[in-house]
A and B are shown apart, each in its own frame.
Chain A
Amino acid sequence: MKKSIALIAALAALALPMSAQAHRAWLAPTSTSLSGADAWVGFDAGMSNGVFIPDHAAMRLDGLTITAPDGSTVQAENRNTARYRSTFDLHLTQQGTYRVANVMGGVMVSYKQGGEQKRWRGTEADMAANIPADATDVVATRSNSRIETFVTLGAPTVTALAATGQGIELVPVTHPNDLVAGEAATFKFVRDGQPAAGLEVTVARGGTRYRDNPEEMTVTTGADGSFTVTWPEPGMYWVNASVRTPAAGDQMASNAQYNGVVEVLP
């Protein structure tokens, strides 16, 4: 019983990042580069037009997965959902890099039954059993959304950054916690584990409330999925890419979205 309630919650959360396309999803850490035997980092997660400006909706964190430097999964603490942002803390007890990600995925199906328009959301495995036999105009779309950031205690490591093969993922060439203003950084985007060529990447720096020019950058990934950004200024940056693939043959349509946050130091 408990499991099915959790599932319903997870399914409800599925829709949020994808349906609120107009708003940007961001998971922002209070620090990204730390020293000492252990450390605490807080996180704000919201959806809004201005990145890191919580003025629209809190993000649901049902898909929150925190990977520790040794590859194990660790839990967030002090979770809270406020009006415009969700917050939680992470106690860093291992030296190295943590990946903090809110990952959601599933299938959305729209169909008609007896002239009535209906929708179903769930996992791909459950789809066949949940779409009535007399359904017509069935349109199924697979979706995957990854909203993530990275924090490092001590020297950066890469174990926690291993790609899962699901959706759009960032593969480091430059480590995401080793970014300095004026320097170039290169990353690779993969989609379902394969290089994501020709993806348009939006890079937006926070703090737009205190300047007139949004100063956004767009770059396009190369054949190997790689893209390079030269950071103009220190700050917290939002990195976004999304892709929609129409249905073809027996492959259903699919949407994938990536929303990462990285900090660039002076």
Chain B
Amino acid sequence: MRPLTLAASAAAFGAIAAPAVAADLTVTVTLPQQTGAAYHRPYVALFIERPVTGQPAVPVRTLAVWYEVSNVAEGKDWLKDMRSWWRGLGRGMTLPADGISSATKAPGRHTVTIPAARLRDLPAGNYTLVVDAARELGGREAVRVPFVWGRANTARGTGSTELGAVTVAVTR
């Protein structure tokens, strides 16, 4: 069933803009060490949006959501705190979602690779990777990194409080 859906949506997108040729999207996110007695790992959402001149960006797709998946009863109660993701995409999704949701991560560098197959229907063009992080008893921060889909390129950005370095690499 799943390949059929993918093929159908790829065809639909093909009518508007040529899909990019097969490429992987690799994102690294560094979660900084936080000081303070009560540390809870942050909720983090990785998604892409498409910039539109003179208007708010259009959210396109969720790549990953790190939340307390093991807490089935209450883990989703704080998804709303990743505000830009929640408003743009999260509140319209059902979680957990295969290949997207996973447990929260410890401080350190984390790599997320989105295989070419999952982005086959994404039209080539300019996008922005958004990393939206919210931490219990901590703060919230969103880091935006513009990148190009459709050719090999790398981009980087950095946060200042809840997030460290963020890199995006499109490889062929």
Question: Quick check: which of A35-43, A118-126, A131-139 contacts chain B, the rest being far away?
Answer: A35-43
Query: Which partner residue on chain A sits nearest B76 by CB separation?
Result: A36
Docked CA distance A14–B79 (Å): 41
- B binding-site residues for A, Cβ under 8 Å: 56, 73-74, 76-80, 83, 86-87, 90-92
A36 and B77 form a contact (CB under 8 A): yes
| B150 → A minimal CB distance (Å) | 30
Contacts of A39 in B (CB 8 A): 77
Task: Report how far A16 CA is from B80 CA in the complex, Å.
Answer: 37
Does B56 lie within 8 Å of A155, measured CB to CB? Answer: no
Q: How far is the CA of A37 from the CA of B94 in the complex (A)?
A: 11
User: Would you call B80 and A34 a contact (CB within 8 A)?
Assistant: yes
- Whether a CB of chain B sits under 8 angstroms from the CB of A222 is no
Q: Could you write out 15 A-B pairs with CB less than 8 Å apart?
A: A33-B80, A34-B80, A35-B77, A35-B79, A35-B80, A35-B90, A35-B91, A37-B76, A39-B77, A155-B92, A156-B91, A178-B87, A180-B87, A265-B83, A266-B83
A141 to chain B minimum Cβ distance, whole angstroms, is 43
Which residue of chain B has its CB nearest to the CB of A178?
B87
User: CA separation between A33 and B91, bound complex, in Å?
Assistant: 10
Count of interface residues, chain A, beta-carbon cutoff 8 Å: 14
Quick check: B79 and A36 within 8 Å, CB to CB?
yes
Question: Which chain A residues lie closer than 8 Å to B73 at the CB level?
Answer: 37
> In the complex, A36→B80 CA distance in Å?
9
**Nearest 10 interchain pairs by C-beta:** A36-B77, A35-B80, A35-B79, A155-B91, A36-B76, A155-B92, A154-B91, A35-B76, A33-B80, A34-B80
A265 to B134, CA, bound (A): 15
CB distance from B14 to the nearest CB of A (A): 28
* CA gap between A249 and B90 in the complex, in Å: 55
Contact with B along A167-199 (1 / 0, CB 8 A): 000000000001010010000000000000000
Q: A210-266: which have CB < 8 Å to B?
A: 265-266
User: Which residue of chain B has the shortest Cβ distance to A154 in the bound complex?
Assistant: B91
Closest B residue by C-beta to A265: B83
Which of A36, A178, A180, A266: most chain B CB closer than 10 A?
A: A36
Give CA–CA (A180, B92) in the complex, Å.
18
CB-CB < 8 A to B92: which residues of A? 155
Q: How far is the CA of A128 from the CA of B62 in the complex (A)?
A: 63
Q: A35-B76, A36-B79 are in contact. Are A183 and B91 (CB under 8 A)?
A: no
- With contacts A35-B78, A35-B86, A36-B79 known, what are 19 further pairs, Cβ within 8 A? A33-B80, A33-B86, A34-B77, A34-B80, A35-B76, A35-B80, A35-B91, A36-B74, A36-B77, A37-B73, A37-B76, A39-B77, A154-B91, A155-B91, A178-B87, A180-B87, A183-B56, A265-B83, A265-B87
Which chain A residues in 150-167 approach chain B with CB under 8 Å?
A: 154-156
User: Within the assembled complex, what's the spacing in Å between the Cα atoms of A157 and B121?
Assistant: 29
Determine the residue in chain A with the shortest Cβ distance to B75: A36
In the complex, A114→B17 CA distance in Å? 83
Name the residue of chain A whose CB is nearest to the CB of B84.
A180
Residue of A nearest to B86 (CB): A35
In the complex, what's the smallest C-beta–C-beta distance from B119 to chain A, in angstroms? 24
Q: Complex Cα distance A38/B18, Å? A: 42
**Docked CA distance A34–B86 (Å):** 10
- Give the distance in Å from the alpha carbon of A35 to the alpha carbon of B86 in the complex: 9
* Residue of A39, A154, A156 most packed against chain B (CB within 10 A): A154
Per the 8 Å Cβ criterion, residues 20-72 of A in contact with B are 33-37, 39
CA distance A68 to B77 in the complex (A): 19
Complex Cα spacing A266 to B132, Å? 13
Of all chain B residues, which has the CB nearest A156?
Answer: B91
- Would you list which residues of chain A between 64 and 99 have a CB under 8 Å from chain B? none
